[in-house]
Amino acid sequence: MDQVTDLASKNAAVIFTKSSCCMCYSIKTLFYELGASPAIHELDREANGREMEWALRGLGCNPIVPAVFIGGKWVGSAKDVLSLHLDGSLKQMLMEAKAIWF
User: Is the pLDDT reported for residue 1 higher than 70?
Assistant: no
| Res 62: pLDDT | 86
Torsions phi, psi for 40 (to 5 deg): -110, 130
Residue 32 Cα distances to 74, 80, 99, angstroms: 19, 17, 11
Close Cβ partners of 78 (under 8 Å, ≥ 6 residues apart) = 23, 24, 26, 27, 66
In the predicted model, what is the mean pLDDT of residues 46-59? Answer: 93
Pick from 69, 72, 62: which is nearest to 27 by CA?
69
In the predicted model, what is the mean pLDDT of residues 2-6? Answer: 90
